[in-house]
Structure 1
Amino acid sequence: NTILHVAASKGSLDVLKFINTHHYPMTTNNRGETVLHLAVKHIDIVKYLINECNCDVMSPDKYGWTPLHFAAMKVIEYFLSTGNCDPLAKDNEEKTPLQLTKERDKDSDTVIAIFKKFGNIKISHPIDSYVNVLLVGNPGAGKSTLSRVINDTATGSIALGSFRNVGGVVPCTAGIIPYKLQHRTLGNIILHDFAGHPEYYSSHSAVIENLLQGSGGVFLIVVNILEKEVVKQLHQWLTVVRNEAQKVFNQCHVIVIVSHVDEISNPVERRRRKKEVKEVIVKERCDRVFLDCRKLGGSGVDSFFNKLCSACESIRSTSGRNLSLYCHMMYGLLEERKENILTLSDVMSAGEDNDDYVIPDKREDVLDSLHSLHST
């Protein structure tokens, strides 16, 4: 440790200020810890290091721990109030500050303090940030089939439908069909199935620009490898996507899905066509998946979901909307504790369906009941 580390760990603010003129506060010790790492028990020093010395609150040590991983209750509240901390940042063991907080059995006040940070969040803000997933491609490429796969796996496992054909597919999408999904693998997404007909292109451009104003999105470009002009079609859609992505400040991800690969029986021809398409995709630095999406467990579907899930998580974590970090944290806590949580509407529903329960209808009685529940 440097002398700054020692002063910070002892809570000696005056000493720290005196010697700070001769030492750089972001200097690390042999564990990779900054002065801020050792100051986390002393809120006055934390405020000084952040406000006066511009210390990086997300700087990790050699184990991947940020100061938030170390922090005590009051310091956690202050870290979160800066809006610059990511409570979902993972250390080298894939643990987040939130997970470590919940492991503190004797420090339940810390969890309560975190919940207090949500008090000023607008009710209109979604609990879990929805990521826009934009599905584009020529007619017959397989967009609607892929859309059906994403919809069908929202609440169920892919493995359970491995040998089942995808059903309920509308052959030709008209305009744009949006699906708001709470997907077990992808999280909360809004899937937009865009028609591939040329007459819709101008309206598509306006819609896409509007969708990407709030945050980045994930473009899924679907091309049919059986098409003679598959490379030309891919170039066209990559150009469209690139032009739309350049209009917005937020980062976008592009995944190219090459469908109907399984229908090419000749292995030499299959390799040739895949190579042609792959060369274009590599130049554009896009993710790619070759798949058969007509079965829920078709070839390449697992890889597709892994790539899409990673892209969605990246959008959520880099969207720049600090509130979404808090919303995700709250959402994660509630998801894990949902079996222990009842809303007032749950209680009312139970009372309506069962004559054994009497629900008070006076405001004062309801408040007394809620107060009793809170005290227990």
Structure 2
Amino acid sequence: MATNELGETVLHRAANHIDIVKYLINECHCDPMATDSNNKTTLHKAAQRDSSDVAKYLINEKHCDPMTVDSLGQTPLHIAAYWNNPAVVEYLLSTASHMDEVRDEVSNLVEWRKEEIQKVIVREKCDSVFLDCRKLGGSGLDSLFKMLSSA
């Protein structure tokens, strides 16, 4: 299939026009998983251009993988979030595979931040923060209290 200087097919370029996307896939047999020179699929392009209807069509009817990553390791969810496209973000978050990825990513980030905060509190011996943190409760703060009591 012909591409432009960025390796994009006509399907990539039409990613925000649902009727054209359907025509190109169903009538012209364009491959919805074809990638451009940055490994972006039509789903990546739809996410960038805030086209939730195209994203839904590609995932639900053409079984495109929402976990496909481009050359920077970004999924369509990353791209939709970067370009501030809430309708696409909301849809992608509603897919089961993304929920597991997001939950794991957020959980890892929260745990990392807790550790960093704990180190600062111990280093600075922030007694008032210690008292406020005790109000929060939760098992994640147990190690904080142990670190503070041994500081």
**Do Structure 1 and Structure 2 share a fold, with TM-score over 0.5?**
yes
Q: How far does the alpha carbon of each residue in 1:47-81 deviate from its partner, in whole angstroms, 9 at most, with x for none?
A: 11111112111111111111111102221111111
Tell me which residue corresponds to 1:85.
64
Secondary structure of 1:63's aligned partner? coil
Secondary structure of 1:335's aligned partner? helix
Secondary structure of 1:113's aligned partner? helix
Tell me which residue corresponds to 1:328.
97
Match of 2:38 among 63, 68, 72: 63
Match of 1:99 among 67, 78, 97: 78
Secondary structure of 2:63's aligned partner? coil
State whether residues 18 and 54 of structure 2, in contact with CA within 8 Å, keep that contact through their aligned partners in structure 1: yes
Q: In 1, distance between residues paired with 2:31 and 2:66?
A: 15
For structure 1, the 5+ residue unaligned runs are: 1-25, 119-326, 340-376
Q: Compare the two structures and name the one with the higher helix fraction.
A: 2
Which amino acid is 2:87 matched to?
D
Q: How do residues 1-376 of structure 1 correspond to structure 2 at under 5 angstroms?
A: 26-71=1-46, 72-105=51-84, 107-116=85-94, 118=95, 327-337=96-106
Query: TM-score, normalised on structure 2?
Result: 0.60
Aligned CA RMSD, in angstroms, stands at 2.0
Which amino acid is 1:27 matched to?
A
Secondary structure of 2:53's aligned partner? helix
For structure 2, the 5+ residue unaligned runs are: 111-151
Q: In 1, distance between residues paired with 2:105 and 2:69?
A: 18
Q: How far does the alpha carbon of each residue in 1:128-150 deviate from its partner, in whole angstroms, 9 at most, with x for none?
A: xxxxxxxxxxxxxxxxxxxxxxx
State whether residues 57 and 84 of structure 1, in contact with CA within 8 Å, keep that contact through their aligned partners in structure 2: no
CA-CA distance at 1:328 after TM superposition: 2.5
State whether residues 65 and 91 of structure 1, in contact with CA within 8 Å, keep that contact through their aligned partners in structure 2: yes
Query: TM-score, normalised on structure 1?
Result: 0.26
Higher gyration radius (CA): 1
Identity of aligned residues (%): 40
